[in-house]
Chain A
Amino acid sequence: MGKRVLVVDDANFMRMIVRDMLRPNGFEICGEATNGIEAVTKYMELKPDLVTMDITMREKDGLQASREILAADPNARIVMVTALGQERVLLDCIALGVRDFVVKPFTKERIISAVEKALR
């Protein structure tokens, strides 16, 4: 059984890209969320091995959702997958305890390597 991944992104297109890259490489997509509120709820419900998390989303952004997930489960493994490649954002993610930071657009190799590294 592959490691279970929760994919969080408000864009259906982006969730499909992540799903299509991870599934053939042995990962199970156990759930998807379209905003930060759903991400927190589904994390508690599904207890995935890893979360791929977008930042810019309506309702609740990925930084706040990650903060809440990590407060509830300090061992949560979160990989940020975002178009916002600013250094300040990267520093905020590191301070939060996020495991890796993937800037969109990304290659299959880049996301798989980030996910595998985060799961070690």
Chain B
Amino acid sequence: MVKINAKHVNPFVEAAMRVVTQVAGIEVRRGHLSYKAKAEPSFGVSIIIGIYGYLTGQIVYSLDATLAEKLVDKMLEGKSPEEKKIMFLDALGEVANMITGNATAVLNQRLDQVLSITTPVIAAGTHLSVHLVPKPALVLGLLTQYGPIEISIAVEERETLQET
């Protein structure tokens, strides 16, 4: 049985609020916390980042296209529509990378090892289906004036993995 731990959630909430506000000037509020049997995304744009080290698993960021466009628009203020289009997925991946990286700095207080993260994998489109290794996830809802962001946290401690 895989165990998930609520203590892993707060670093992501705080990092998401700080990062999105700093890079896009969009205010983020804390929403609901729920549970899913699989970390599958709810909205059209998904960014998946793996974590490995003493914690192992994946973080799935999910948002709808309108919010994703607004976010990139604000991050790339002053750039041409062509540049915004070219950098759309890249910019979203970088936001997820910054949130995950910042969260791991709070999660990992250990000096004996690094908590590594993978480069982001981004999927966008209508009728998109993302299939992930089935793992239970804590799902964190965040609210912005342009729509919700969902962060599914499916990580487990290595000791737990060894016990199963």
- Interface residues, chain A, CB within 8 Å of chain B? 10-14, 16, 56-58, 82-89, 91-92, 103-105
Contacts and interface: CB of A to CB of B under 8 A. Distances in A.
B33 interface: no
Interface of B: 19, 22-23, 75-76, 86-87, 90-91, 93-94, 97-98, 100-102, 104-105, 108-119
B101 A83 contact: yes
B159 to A, nearest CB: 19
A86 B87 contact: no
A89 B111 CA distance: 9
8 contacts: A13-B90, A13-B93, A83-B97, A83-B101, A83-B102, A86-B115, A103-B105, A105-B22
A11 B111 contact: no
B102 A103 contact: yes
Nearest to A106: B22
B129 to A, nearest CB: 25
A15 to B, nearest CB: 10
